[in-house]
Amino acid sequence: MRHRTRSPKSRAQWCLLGSVILSVLLSACDTNRPEGDANRDEPEFTSTSVTVQSDTLDLPGVLFVPDTSAAVPGVVIVHGSGLVDRDGQAVGTSLPPIYERWAERMVRRGLAVLRYDKRTTQPEVRQVDPRAITFLDFVRDAVAAGEVLRGRSGVDADRLVLVGHSQGGNVAPAAATRLDGVAGIASLAGSALAIDSLFVAQLEAGGGSGNCMADRARAQFDSLRAGQPVSDGLICGAGTMFWRQWIRHSQGMDSVAAAVGPPLRVQQGRADQNYPGTTLRQNLGVWHRIAQNGDATVKAYEGVDHFFLEAGTITTADAPLDALVSWIQHR
């Protein structure tokens, strides 16, 4: 089927208080700028339903391909934390469809884009013990999505780029070490800090709730590092194996970046709510150090939040997305 530019699906009002793993803490906040209409003269594209087969799961997704006879670069969008679907919306929240917006912008600039539902949105996974879900499950899903995209007609198999947002900024580089032929990796608002430390800082800033309070999480992470049992085997709803793997990948981004080979692009908004206090400066500092030691580019954008919206609005910021598209086109 063919699509022309559409008005945004969501004008919901929200702001992020702090990321969690199997839920996202959100509350309403004032905004007065909706996403604007795009140019209706832009090229059409084809949308196709796809299935990403990973482990025993069939993850539904959608592929956008521009209407052109030439093979084009392919992009896989890798989710942030939470029960996030292909559009970048979290179950039970009013998140705007940020990944859908990115995909529509990208396809109209000549890129094929695959988005898929995160495994934690699938009923057969959500019903199992959360202790069984690991960080590497998400890495395998991203690899499987890359394989699907690379095999599609109209996609240049040698120009595959993984674009990871937030948690996906750690997942995408890890997936690139397991997927041949990746031409580039983009980490959007991804952490180069040890995720346990960042997570506790987020809880301190956002207040936490229930069994997911800053003091409790800090003590549980201390036990995890010391190799001691953690009560119920869960920290803020996620299993200890998940946390061990994610901590290792986040605090080891130097070695991960060195192992991937393809160029790495890091983008972060300076109004990112997920990096409270000094953590934003610290995170950018680590990324800049990584860039000095390898083929990486780091860009920070004023007035841009964690979801690459103009701060305080639900309007997608143009500059970071346009720069990302241009970078992908040159892979």
Residue 212 or residue 42, greater confidence? 212
Classify 103 as helix, strand or coil.
Answer: helix
Boundaries of domain holding 79: 2-329
The token duo for 2 is 């063919």
What pLDDT score does 43 carry?
Answer: 62
Mean per-residue pLDDT over the chain, rounded: 87
In eight-state DSSP terms, residue 119 is: G
CB distance 178 to 214 below 8 Å: no
Q: Over range 198-215, report the average pLDDT.
A: 92
Q: Over range 184-211, report the average pLDDT.
A: 94
What pLDDT score does 94 carry?
Answer: 74
What pLDDT score does 194 carry?
Answer: 96
Q: Over range 207-228, report the average pLDDT.
A: 93
CB distance 264 to 187 below 8 Å: yes
Q: How many CA atoms lie within 13 A of 200 on its CB side?
A: 15
Would the pLDDT of 9 be above 90? no
Residue 180 or residue 43, greater confidence? 180
Q: What is the number of structural domains in the chain? A: 1
* pLDDT-wise least confident of 9-13, 77-81, 142-146: 9-13
For the chain, the 3-state helix, strand and coil shares in percent, each to the nearest 5, are 35, 25, 40
CA-nearest of 324, 307, 330 to 14 is 307
What pLDDT score does 93 carry?
Answer: 72
What pLDDT score does 255 carry?
Answer: 86
What pLDDT score does 136 carry?
Answer: 97
In this prediction, residue 1 has a pLDDT band, given cuts at 50, 70 and 90, of: very low
Residue 123 or residue 59, greater confidence? 59
Q: What is the pLDDT of residues 46-65, one digit of tens each?
A: 999 999 999 999 999 999 99
Task: Compute the distance between CA of residue 256 and CA of residue 55 in angstroms, rounded to an integer.
Answer: 23
Task: Compute the distance between CA of residue 113 and CA of residue 175 in angstroms, rounded to an integer.
Answer: 17
Q: Are strands 57-66 and 45-54 parallel, antiparallel or unpaired?
A: antiparallel
Strand partners, 63: 48, 114
Backbone angles phi, psi at 144, to 5 degrees: -60, -40
What pLDDT score does 310 carry?
Answer: 96
CATH number of the domain bearing residue 40: 3.40.50.1820
Q: What is the pLDDT of residues 61-96, one digit of tens each?
A: 999 999 998 999 999 999 999 899 999 998 777 778
Share of the chain above pLDDT 90, in %: 72
> 104 CB contacts (<8 Å, ≥6 apart)?
3, 5, 6, 38, 64
Would the pLDDT of 323 be above 90? yes
Would the pLDDT of 15 be above 90? no
Would the pLDDT of 114 be above 60? yes
